[in-house]
Amino acid sequence: MVNSDLVIRARRVLTPAGFGPAEVRIRGGRIMEVTDWAAQSARDVGVSVVLDDDEVLLPGLVDTHVHVNEPGRTDWEGFASATAAAAAGGVTTIIDMPLNSVPPTVHVGALDVKRRAAVGQCSVEVGFWGGAIPGNAAELAGLDAAGVFGFKCFTVDSGVAEFPPLDDAGLAEAMKRTAELGSLVVVHAEEAECIGTASGRQYADFVRSRPDAAEVVAVGRVIELARQTGARVHVLHLSSADVVPLLAAAQADGLAITAETCPHYLTIAAEEVEPGQTQFKCCPPIRDSANQGRLWDGLASGVISCVVSDHSPCLPELKRLETGDFGQAWGGISSVQLGLPAIWTEAAGRGFSLADVVGWMASGPAQLVGLTGKGAIAAGRDADLVAFAPDERFVVTADRLLTRHRLTPYLGRELRGVVRKTWLRGELVGAGQPTGRLLTREHPA
């Protein structure tokens, strides 16, 4: 039995073997041992914590799709507020997207600027995506060497002028470069020619302007380019379940292509959105309940492997609530603090287990980006842990939220599951100064 700085004991601990009573022994920020609940450890433990009977111990979640926006649009969100909110939601690692910050993370100099902005502010671990835009193909190798976890690109207008989309030739070039680097391309896949214009207060009009076909056509092109280049590709924020059969066929053919979806697509249906409720606008859009059910089927089958937030907040006035015009409002959902209870509420009602949820929100994303120390409670892993009360319910109110702005479509919703404590590398988050590290990709030896 190893000496420990900290032992956490719980009647229900989720390990790779499933739920059971256990004690987790931690030293130097890592899990040294997971032993039987009955083990006696008081003689060699600095601190011992026993979870309440209504709590379970989970691995910290890994959210690979977060827009922190700092620097440049720090009035939208920032590292201090985004990471504090993440920790309050049981997320212990985030990977920051290369846009909407200014400058975008499309060259090493911009990555350095972003890292300097983040230092000393982070309550959780933070890694960074690079960006692939027209004209920066020569920058990808440098960004990869500097430790980005892969490269984000768009096949359609991103919403910000400094991060333009790639055409087919540019996407093919980016895929070839990342294949050579052994890295990953993550794609916002919508087809511009399928997208119309929308204005006014009716959400149905906005959904019609970004039909399922926009995702189907774009993902079909991504699959074909992946086949040609041998690149490893990940489809971001899958909204349309019509894409799932295409992905299943590509995976069956042996292509290295994966996909994620988001809590808002899995827990909110288009029928619920009232006229003018622009806080629900995102791209691609939230679709109807029948589509939502098929997305859950995609998770059950394993075709969709990750559930991540796509936390994309903005200044409240950019949501145009005063007019309720979906065409003018910024498209993005603020949700990094609420993903776990939102998904657990819906998953439990559909017969999924909490272990399923952790697979989609912790181990799946960790595996996607190669974070071998994250995503599970096991010896040798980082002691990123969450005390979660899965049966406690709460109503989402603005005063509970730690994001810079408190506008979210989840306001007023009753959710199941409360994060009571979060540990980052064995340290209780919120007990002192932020201790989150800035992460770099682990290159294979």
Q: What is the pLDDT of residues 99-125, one digit of tens each?
A: 999 999 999 999 999 999 999 999 999
Nearest-angstrom CA–CA distance, 192 and 150: 24
pTM score > 0.95 for this model?
A: yes
Nearest-angstrom CA–CA distance, 200 and 384: 45
Q: Check if the beta carbon of residue 421 is closer than 8 Å to that of residue 431.
A: no
Confidence band of 442 (pLDDT split at 50, 70, 90): confident
CA dihedral over 262, 113, 123, 372, signed as positive or negative: positive
Which class does domain 59-369 fall in? alpha beta
Q: Check if the beta carbon of residue 366 is closer than 8 Å to that of residue 93.
A: yes
The answer on pLDDT for 1 being more than 70 is no
CB-based contacts of 338, cutoff 8 Å, min separation 6 = 89, 263, 396, 408, 410, 415
Of 211, 273, 279, nearest to 242 by C-alpha is: 211
Nearest-angstrom CA–CA distance, 138 and 133: 11
Q: Which residue has the tokens 């720090």?
A: 74
Q: Check if the beta carbon of residue 66 is closer than 8 Å to that of residue 396.
A: no
**CATH 2.30.40.10 is the classification of domain 4-57+383-399+411-428:** yes
Pairing mode of beta strands 306-307, 257-261: parallel
The answer on pLDDT for 288 being more than 90 is yes
User: What residue type is assigned to position 164 of the chain?
Assistant: P
Report the pLDDT value the prediction gives residue 444, as an integer from 0 to 100.
Answer: 62
| Average pLDDT of the chain, as a whole number | 96
Confidence band of 445 (pLDDT split at 50, 70, 90): very low
The answer on pLDDT for 279 being more than 80 is yes
The answer on pLDDT for 137 being more than 80 is yes
Domain boundaries, the chain: 4-57+383-399+411-428, 59-369
What is the per-residue pLDDT across 353-403, written as a single tens digit (0 to 9) for each? 999 999 999 999 999 999 999 999 999 999 999 999 999 999 999 999 999
Report the pLDDT value the prediction gives residue 40, as an integer from 0 to 100.
Answer: 56
CB-based contacts of 245, cutoff 8 Å, min separation 6 = none
Report the pLDDT value the prediction gives residue 47, as an integer from 0 to 100.
Answer: 79
Q: Check if the beta carbon of residue 230 is closer than 8 Å to that of residue 308.
A: no
Of 98, 83, 160, nearest to 128 by C-alpha is: 98
Q: Which contiguous run of DSSP H or E holds residue 24?
A: strand 18-27
Report the pLDDT value the prediction gives residue 36, as an integer from 0 to 100.
Answer: 86
What is the per-residue pLDDT across 162-201, written as a single tens digit (0 to 9) for each? 999 999 999 999 999 999 999 999 999 999 999 999 999 9
Report the pLDDT value the prediction gives residue 431, as an integer from 0 to 100.
Answer: 79
Report the pLDDT value the prediction gives residue 3, as an integer from 0 to 100.
Answer: 59
